[in-house]
Structures are given as structure tokens and as C-alpha cells.
Amino acid sequence: MEVSAVRQFMVSADSGRSVQSAQDGEAAARDELRAAAEGFEAIFINTMLKSARTEAYSDDLTSSSAVRSAQSLFDMKISEAVSGSSNLGIADAVVRQLSPLVRYKG
């Protein structure tokens, strides 16, 4: 009887660890999904900023490749800052749509 009680305790402890491991894995998968969704939101905002800078607004001062490169880097940093701090809802929508599809495989 004592051996089976010890064996049952070991099995329940082991299954508790696997449940905790699965929960940790699912939390990590949700965090990765959130980070990817925020990255997508940053790309979307960057695309909007790039399209706002059309050739119609260019002049001799802003037509050099150095100025365009600086503007591109500036737009990228602005996109990252806006996607991380504002609530446009794009990242939330992506997370809502994809979270049922994300499963932890451990």
C-alpha cells in the first residue's frame, strides 16, 4: 500500500509540473503573439507615414538621398513609439483574431 501511495504522489507531482510547464508555455506564446501584433502595427503605421511623404511635397531641400534616409529612420522610430504607446487597436484586433490559433506545443 505504501508503494502505491508514493507512486500516486509522484505521478500527481509530475502531472502538476507538466500542467505548470504548459501554462508557462501558453503565457510565453501569448506574449510572442502580442509582440508580433505590435510589430505589425508598427509596420502599418510606418507604411502610412511613408505614403504621407509623397513626391508632391518634395523640394530641393528634401530630395537628397541623405534626407530621405533620415526621414525613413525617423518614420520608423515614430512608428515604433506610436505602436507601443497609443491604442490604435490594430494590435488588439490581431491578438483577438489569432489567439485561438496559437497553441503551446511542448
Q: Tens of pLDDT along the chain (106 residues)?
A: 455 554 555 555 555 555 566 677 788 888 999 999 989 999 998 888 888 876 656 666 667 788 888 888 888 888 888 887 777 888 889 999 998 888 766 5
pTM, full prediction? 0.63
* C-alpha span between 86 and 102 (Å, rounded): 25
pLDDT confidence of residue 87: 75
pLDDT confidence of residue 64: 78
Length of the chain: 106
pLDDT confidence of residue 89: 86
Other beta carbons within 10 Å of 41 = 23
Residue 47 CA to chain centroid, in angstroms?
Answer: 17
pLDDT confidence of residue 1: 45
* C-alpha span between 90 and 42 (Å, rounded): 9
